[in-house]
Chains A and B, each alone.
Chain A
Amino acid sequence: MKKNLSEDFSMEDSLEQIIQEKNLVYRPTRLMTGATLSYCPGCGHGTIHRLIMEVVEEMGIQAETIGVSPVGCAVLAYDFMDVDFTEAAHGRAPAVATGIKRLWPDKYVFTYQGDGDLAAIGTAETIHACNRGEQICIFFVNNGIYGMTGGQMAPTTLEGMVSSTTPYGRNVEQMGPPLKITELVAQLAGTYYVSRQSIHKAATVRKAKKAIRKAFEVQKEKKGMAFVEFVSNCNSGWKMTPNEANQWMEDHMFPFYPLGDIKVDGKLVKNVIQDL
């Protein structure tokens, strides 16, 4: 009994020893504004925001970076990421970003868009900005659903996946198959770097951050469009707990939306036709 007590005391002593500024190994970046995120618990949007800001901080480009936020749950992204921002009409972020980048070619310009925004109402803007090879980064968050409006089917919704507008599961006979827009834009001459990542596990977070870094480096070198998809959860829309949603995502989303680089240095590194 006595022994246990003294162990407890030494435990507390050492905790105090450890928790000191000089021993700091990770703190959330100050380029996140500190505003409480409007996202549901466990939603991937917050992690992706933070990774983008970590890269901006590490590259020292905060003052030169301009984001374009979407319509969707990330509509308030400008409140959370501490860089200049503008808000685009639904799906139009790549067109707005094109204008900004052409006026200020030395700024770092990125869009942040959901799958409803980028692959439904904004399909034309997405494809043409990619085809023109605009010197911007597109960060595309694919949670297979319209999260913000109550979980309706998106073009990205998987076959058989239940949503509020497909209560019996997506029927591809009637609604067509899910759209792999990332494989599609990878085939356009204007895209220089195309990758698909996820952010639900520590290892995938580290890889996703490298992909974001690569995307900004491509823009720095003015090589063309850098397009990074993040397969993410919408645990509220999917009606699961966050950890259940992440497991479901691994089991169902990843087989259809495989992770990894698709196009590097302007060359396809995957057989996208087979993947389509």
Chain B
Amino acid sequence: MAKVRGAIVVDIERCKGCEVCVVNCPTDVIAMSKDVNSKGYHYAYMEHPDDCTGCTNCAIVCPDGAITVYRIKN
């Protein structure tokens, strides 16, 4: 069966750790890192990459334009 799989790439230095992407992900893919970026923000990352469908929700709500989204069907 064809399964849609996605992945996001977070621009760690652009991320301000606002967590708006986290609540907008329908499959709870995103969590905040323990580490901080050079500005001191905990940045978003894929905690559950397997569940990403590449729906783009997180990217279009990101105020800082820090997320790029990829998607394949296999």
Residues of chain A touching chain B, judged by Cβ–Cβ distance below 8 Å, are 11, 14-15, 17-20, 23-29, 32, 36-37, 39-47, 50, 199-202, 205-206, 241-243, 246
* Contact indicator A199/B61 (Cβ below 8 Å): yes
In the complex, chain A residues whose CB is within 8 Å of the CB of B23? 243
Residues of chain B touching chain A, judged by Cβ–Cβ distance below 8 Å, are 5-7, 9, 14, 16-20, 22-24, 41, 49-50, 54-72
Other A-B pairs, 10, CB within 8 Å; known A47-B63, A201-B61 = A18-B54, A25-B70, A41-B17, A41-B63, A45-B63, A46-B65, A199-B61, A200-B20, A202-B57, A202-B61
* Contact indicator A205/B61 (Cβ below 8 Å): yes
* Contact indicator A44/B63 (Cβ below 8 Å): yes
Grouping DSSP codes into helix (H, G, I), strand (E, B) and loop, the B interface class, with mixed when no group exceeds half, is: mixed
* Contact indicator A19/B17 (Cβ below 8 Å): no
* Contact indicator B5/A42 (Cβ below 8 Å): no
* Contact indicator A46/B61 (Cβ below 8 Å): no
* Contact indicator B63/A19 (Cβ below 8 Å): no
In the complex, chain B residues whose CB is within 8 Å of the CB of A28? 59, 62, 65-68
In the complex, chain A residues whose CB is within 8 Å of the CB of B64? 37, 41, 46
* Contact indicator A18/B59 (Cβ below 8 Å): no
